[in-house]
Structure 1
Amino acid sequence: MLIGAPAIEPVSLAEMKSWLREDASDEDQLIQALIVSARMTLEAYVRRFFVTQSWRIIMDAWPQDKTRLVLPLAPFQNVSAIRVFDAADVAQTVTSNSYRAPASSAEGRIVFSSAPPTPGRCADGIEIDFVVGYGGLAAHTPEPLRRAIMTLAAHWRERRGDDPDDALPYAVAQLASPFRRQRLT
């Protein structure tokens, strides 16, 4: 679950208006909404988050190998907290010196020095808070992804839902494809 949304968008309203060659301000709210929608659509397409944001994963139990855990969101920055709920439903914080979560890994990998505590409740016994994204500034998002956001937002603005086959435009997919994480299925 998202616990800290991005503070900024990878493309500012001023950049988008310049891209669109738009001087008036009567559609600023629409253009801003298109930027957010394009970012979220492309984040889903590439399976990566563009700007720093905080997430929480809630699990019932640890995986089979209790010394390693891979978080499914990328690009990974750090772990903020790991909490395990005991039988009295009280959160016990796992100390950061009992695990490593190297930011240099492409994925969020947590390696425990010893098995973490077993949750005392049968459901939602583990909470892991972590941070993902390329960085906190718009410039940290790779330029092809920023261009893909602008291209997609411009596409939507021009067509305004009139296109019956409104799939991801080819130019947008080409810009984003090199960043796309593949699924292992």
Structure 2
Amino acid sequence: MSLELIIPPAEEPVSLDEAKAHLRVTHGEEDGLIAVYLMAARRAIETRAGLAVLAQTWRLALDRPPGAPFALPRGPVSAVAAVEIAMRDGSASPVSPDLYDVETGLGARLAPRGPWPHTDRLIGGVRIEFAAGWPDADAVPEEIKHAIRLLAAHFYEHREAVATERVAALPQAVEALVAPYRGARL
């Protein structure tokens, strides 16, 4: 199984101005650095929680057609755009939507309704493209935005992985804020 980001989000859920207000930074000398920390915080939360915070498109590759319902690895899922069977010669054929059911939202799942066409590939013979994430920054839950602000602030304050005086751990509040949005995994 592999997961590939096809279309990244067009914006960040927390603006630079919001982050600077949270950090109490009034100058512009570190705007680029703070923007990097915002992106890194969003990505870290997405990866850790199996989320797509803002609208983005993913491609999941499976080695063989599923035999049972399975969870899509990022949520909330808004739609499955395509399911196709890939062949060794590079060709691909779509799987009819009549052959699977999709449950969208957090903890999204796809379930086969019957046998799918055969693939002659041993690796990555099934490709599922899906859209996930909240539609825009205004729709992202405030708890997720606050977790991003906290984690970006942590990155800003602790620029090295380990300091000689102390070891900086990730804020526990980030996990607590994100926990209700983790998709249920089967």
Partner Cα distance (1:152, 1:86) in 2 = 43
What's the counterpart of residue 85 of structure 2?
A: 84
The answer on 1:132 being equivalent to 2:132 is: yes
What's the counterpart of residue 122 of structure 1?
A: 122
Moved more, 118-127 or 31-40: 118-127
Contiguous gaps of at least 5 residues in structure 2: none
Q: What does 1:38-117 correspond to in 2, within 5 Å?
A: 38-65=41-68, 68-86=69-87, 88-104=89-105, 106-117=106-117
> Which portions of structure 1, spanning 4 or more consecutive aligned residues, are displaced by more than 6 angstroms?
none
What's the counterpart of residue 167 of structure 1?
A: 169
Deviations 1:33-70 (A, max 9, x none): 010111112222322221111111112211334xx443
Shift of residue 87, structure 1, vs aligned partner = 5.9
Identity in percent: 34
The TM-score normalised by the length of structure 1 is 0.84
The answer on 1:30 being equivalent to 2:33 is: yes
Relative to structure 1, is the Cα distance of residues 171 and 85 closer, same or farther in structure 2, using a 3 angstrom cutoff? closer
Shift of residue 137, structure 1, vs aligned partner = 0.8
The answer on 1:3 being equivalent to 2:6 is: yes
Moved more, 92-101 or 21-30: 92-101
Shift of residue 147, structure 1, vs aligned partner = 0.8
The answer as to whether partners of 2:85 and 2:95 remain within 8 angstroms in 1 is: yes
The answer as to whether partners of 1:88 and 1:120 remain within 8 angstroms in 2 is: no
What's the counterpart of residue 150 of structure 1?
A: 149
The answer as to whether partners of 1:45 and 1:180 remain within 8 angstroms in 2 is: no
**Counterpart of 1:7 in 2: which secondary structure?**
coil
Aligned residues: 180
Shift of residue 151, structure 1, vs aligned partner = 1.4
The TM-score normalised by the length of structure 2 is 0.83
What's the counterpart of residue 178 of structure 1?
A: 180
Amino acid at match of 2:77: F
Amino acid at match of 1:148: A
Shift of residue 174, structure 1, vs aligned partner = 3.0
Partner Cα distance (1:63, 1:132) in 2 = 21
Relative to structure 1, is the Cα distance of residues 41 and 166 closer, same or farther in structure 2, using a 3 angstrom cutoff? farther
